[in-house]
Amino acid sequence: MEVGENTSKKLQQLCEDFLGDEWSGGLHIQKIECGVANQIYRCSPKVNKEIAVIVRMPANFSEEFAIKELDKESGGEFQMHSNAARIIICCVIADAGLAPELLGVFDEGRIEKYIAGRNMVIEDLNDFSFTSLIAKMMAKFHSLDCFLNQIIQKLSLIIENV
């Protein structure tokens, strides 16, 4: 799928800003058709196609997606309408080896290391080694300690005192 000139310029600038000089000589850009809430682009520098990143931007840049988390102290729910909660979650799961490395964060999205792969097909469910790997990764994901509420409260205190 063709990428528009404005999007191409924006992706070029983001890659230069976050990834350095190797990205300044032009990009190979491929729109990935799998995001529901995001526009996803695979970008690689023209000088080295072996290096690649994914740039994720919300499909509607003005749209805010709320992340709901249970407040353990009050038993209620709070919403985080900023990119901060998503970034914290991405870092936690990347550190656990369950998500790509986060390389850059900007107002409308993020840049992540590209991991080559393919989409799962129904036949994959018949492969025990595949389903076993998924089960192990899901168990690891659900055992992560991600005290989002505590992290957000600490960040809020830091921001208030700066």
- Interatomic CA distance for residues 142 and 38, integer angstroms: 24
Whether the pLDDT of residue 8 is over 70: the answer is: yes
What integer is the mean pLDDT of 134-146?
86
What integer is the mean pLDDT of 94-102?
88
Which pLDDT band holds residue 27 (cuts at 50, 70, 90)? very high
The pLDDT value given to residue 103: 93
Quick one: residue 109, left, alpha or beta (phi over 0 = left, psi -120 to 50 = alpha)? left
- Interatomic CA distance for residues 125 and 79, integer angstroms: 35
What integer is the mean pLDDT of 88-98?
84
What integer is the mean pLDDT of 86-98?
83
Give 51's contacts (C-beta < 8 A, 6+ positions apart): 22, 44, 45
pLDDT one-digit tens code per residue, 49-74: 889 999 998 765 433 444 444 555 55
What Å distances lie between residue 9 and 14, 15, 26, 137, 162, CA to CA?
9, 10, 10, 37, 34
Whether the pLDDT of residue 17 is over 70: the answer is: yes
- Write down the pTM of the prediction: 0.69
Domains in the chain and their CATH numbers? 5-119 (3.30.200.20)
**Chain-centroid distance, C-alpha 128:** 28
The pLDDT value given to residue 23: 92
The pLDDT value given to residue 123: 92
pLDDT one-digit tens code per residue, 104-132: 988 778 999 999 888 889 999 999 999 99
Joined together, the tokens standing for residue 90 give 């991405």
Q: Which residue has the higher pLDDT, 19 or 37?
A: 19
The pLDDT value given to residue 133: 92
The pLDDT value given to residue 144: 80
Give the whole-number percent of the chain exceeding pLDDT 70: 72
